[in-house]
Structure 1
Amino acid sequence: MTDCLPTERDGANGAWRGCPPAPAIDPASPLLFVINASAGALDLDAKRAVIQAALASHGRKGELLSCNPGNLAQVATAAAVRALERNTAVIAVGGDGSLNTVAQAAHAAGCAMGVIPYGTFNYFARAHGIPTEPLAAARLLLDARPQPVQVGGINDRVFLVNASLGIYPELLQDREAFKARFGRSRWVAFIAACNTLLRAQRRLRLHIDTGIDVRDLQTLTLFIGNNPLQLQQFGAEPADTLAGTPGDGSLAALVLRPIGTVAMIRLMLHGAMGRLGEAAGIESFEFLSMVVKPRLSRGHRTVKIAFDGEVARMRTPIDIRVLDQPLYLLKAPASTSATRPPGP
């Protein structure tokens, strides 16, 4: 497939120019559902029942491919290749982490992808007008058509919502531990975040080159946003300095400077009220590409990275950019971004 150059993209209305046609969808070809059996509150049988009910109501066929986190990538890769060969789509059934794994496979293969969300926040689905109620999402994708959407790249990985290094990966690991103990909810996630931030100690020394600006800085975390809904909820949208907006033409970077405990408490309160951009110690800016070189201890060549809720180690330097090639997402023709919900 031919790359779509960022300069050929009209970020103001989400159109992509210079791209090949969207992948064909044959209604007679079964959709391929990749189901993360461990994602969300519902068990596997309940998830399968939702999909089967939607398929039956539309007279469509589907193959339900159940897997666990350990073999999710393998199942998704095989399904994406089959989807392209059969003129159909691969459907991710799970939370943002599961969606990331399927998107990695769909983007590499060039096939269309659909989403049935089962996560806690479901930022990706909500930003693209996909219902968070699974049956409604399943029904929508059966009438949807592939439309190009922006994805970010961090080294050799795709990300849909965000990527980060520093304290944020630790926050995600603490959040999973809190969820395992206290259950899945936004308030549990918020309390876990407060616990992590209040004991934040480790500082990163970073050399950042955006091709426009070069800087050296100390930070507790570098957060990269590709999702306007999440940035709006934080109240941390950067100043508009590039064509398009984060998630639709550019990416957003948020830098958390080292601050004391009292200032950290104030920062958390600002974040809870959706006014993170007003807090002391937060800097944000737009960019298209960025190379990050952390200063590491002798003998260390990797750094912990979080992307869409997953955590892995990557070799430095870290290359972060808007990818030229979009992801072809099944969306309703007239879909619009979801409105900002209440809560943390």
Structure 2
Amino acid sequence: MSTSTAVAAAPPHVENPPWSLTAPLFVVLNGGSGHVEAQERVATVKRVFQEADRTHELLEVSDPQHLPQAISRAIDLARLHDGAVVAAGGDGTINAVVQQVLPTGLPLGILPQGTFNYFGRNHGISSDIEEATRSLLTAHLKRVQVGLINEQAFIVNASMGLYPTLLQDREAFKQRFGRSRVVALFASLATMLREHRDWVIKLTLDDTTHTIVTPTLFVGNNALQMAQIGIPEAPALQERQLVAIAVKPVGKLAMLGLLLRGALGQLGDADKVSSFAFTSLTVSPRRPHRPKRMKVATDGEVIWMDTPLHFRPSPRPLWLLVPQ
């Protein structure tokens, strides 16, 4: 499929939410069921806010099933006291908070604690818990684009096909060998060496339709990640667009070669990779079957979703607290 760049639509006018450097902060943080490292993070956040005499409340979550209730509580408190919600965790945890915060227009702060932290790094937010917490004390608001897949928000990427399988394998490796980028790399290698399915999918791209064959379709909303793997359309993310990457059918060794090219920042130069920017993309799987639901990944979390899949930038921005 040929590369295509759509004309970005003018963003709707959205007023900045009110913000004060004394506004209270309501932090949703996974306490980790008593894990020492997690409790040290909790103690650090409390100490920094107390030393600065900043009004705050920590809503610790030890069971992920209780995360939605904690987020809802933080939103209620932020509305009541003209404050901000703060998400402490990896991109998946931050995504869960964004899902609920985005419709409210409330300010969002983050304390990134994941393996890659693409979202935080893209906006200059440190993964050091003390430094990130201190930066919230003097932070200002920044308008940030959020992607949507069937109205489900994503801040870094969303995908179908091989990539969700890779993420599931990576999580299994992390459970056995710990969370690190080396473990993530070996998990990716193991996935690439297995047999994988090729999908025939119809793409409705803005006003045109294409049919392609691909093992995976990846949609990015993070300029740092796109630039890091060498995708030339990365700047389009600053123009209210998303960026799609499709891999042509290849063998196992060729797939490993593409993984290596991505690690070296040269994926966009590969002749087996097609990338394009868009404002609206509908994905309709055709073969090997036409599923009514399929497995997709959003910000590292694998879920089931009805087809067809519709990708677009959210018309509502996320108001992110970023360092001065």
Compute the TM-score of the two structures, normalised by the length of structure 2: 0.91
- Of 78, 81, 85, the residue aligned with 2:80 is 85
The correspondence of residues 147-162 of structure 1 with structure 2, limited to 5 A, is 147-162=142-157
Q: Which amino acid aligns with 1:191?
A: F
280 and 261 in structure 1: CA distance in 2 versus 1, 3 angstrom threshold: farther
105 and 227 in structure 1: CA distance in 2 versus 1, 3 angstrom threshold: same
Q: How many residues align?
A: 315
- Of 105, 110, 118, the residue aligned with 1:110 is 105
1:268 equivalent to 2:262? Answer no
Residue pair 1:163, 1:305 contacting (<8 A) in 2 also:
yes
1:190 equivalent to 2:192? Answer no
- Of 60, 77, 81, the residue aligned with 1:66 is 60
Measured on the aligned residues, the alpha-carbon RMSD in Å equals 2.0
* Offset of residue 265 of structure 1: 2.6
* Offset of residue 83 of structure 1: 1.2
Q: Secondary structure at the match of 2:9?
A: helix
* Offset of residue 203 of structure 1: 1.3
Which residue is 2:126 aligned to? 131
1:177 equivalent to 2:177? Answer no
Which residue is 1:315 aligned to? 306
Q: Percent identity?
A: 40
Take 2:263 and 2:209, find their aligned partners in 1: how far apart are those partners? 32
Take 1:118 and 1:166, find their aligned partners in 2: how far apart are those partners? 27
Take 2:10 and 2:241, find their aligned partners in 1: how far apart are those partners? 13
Instruction: Describe the superposition over 1:160-208 as per-residue Cα deviations: whole angstroms up to 9, x where unpaired.
Output: 0000000100111111111111111111111111111121421111111
Which residue is 1:53 aligned to? 47
Which residue is 1:12 aligned to? none
The answer for unaligned runs of 5 or more in structure 1 is: 1-5, 10-16, 334-344
Take 1:137 and 1:42, find their aligned partners in 2: how far apart are those partners? 20
Residue pair 2:21, 2:138 contacting (<8 A) in 1 also:
no
Residue pair 1:112, 1:330 contacting (<8 A) in 2 also:
yes
Take 1:195 and 1:298, find their aligned partners in 2: how far apart are those partners? 26
Which residue is 2:279 aligned to? 288
* Offset of residue 278 of structure 1: 2.1
Which residue is 1:8 aligned to? 10
Instruction: Describe the superposition over 1:247-281 as per-residue Cα deviations: whole angstroms up to 9, x where unpaired.
Output: 55211100011101232232122122121122242
Take 2:219 and 2:193, find their aligned partners in 1: how far apart are those partners? 21
- Of 138, 141, 144, the residue aligned with 1:143 is 138
* Offset of residue 42 of structure 1: 5.9
Which residue is 1:35 aligned to? 29
Bigger drift between 22-31 and 160-169 goes to: 22-31
Take 1:321 and 1:166, find their aligned partners in 2: how far apart are those partners? 19
Compute the TM-score of the two structures, normalised by the length of structure 1: 0.86
232 and 32 in structure 1: CA distance in 2 versus 1, 3 angstrom threshold: same
Residue pair 1:225, 1:247 contacting (<8 A) in 2 also:
no
285 and 113 in structure 1: CA distance in 2 versus 1, 3 angstrom threshold: same
The answer for unaligned runs of 5 or more in structure 2 is: 1-7
Take 1:200 and 1:284, find their aligned partners in 2: how far apart are those partners? 24
301 and 19 in structure 1: CA distance in 2 versus 1, 3 angstrom threshold: same
Q: Which amino acid aligns with 2:95?
A: N
Take 1:23 and 1:256, find their aligned partners in 2: how far apart are those partners? 41
Take 1:216 and 1:257, find their aligned partners in 2: how far apart are those partners? 12
Take 2:195 and 2:226, find their aligned partners in 1: how far apart are those partners? 22
Take 1:276 and 1:61, find their aligned partners in 2: how far apart are those partners? 46
Residue pair 1:37, 1:43 contacting (<8 A) in 2 also:
no
Q: Which amino acid aligns with 2:274?
A: E
Take 1:173 and 1:71, find their aligned partners in 2: how far apart are those partners? 22
Take 1:148 and 1:271, find their aligned partners in 2: how far apart are those partners? 29
- Of 237, 240, 245, the residue aligned with 2:236 is 245
Bigger drift between 22-31 and 288-297 goes to: 22-31
* Offset of residue 61 of structure 1: 1.7
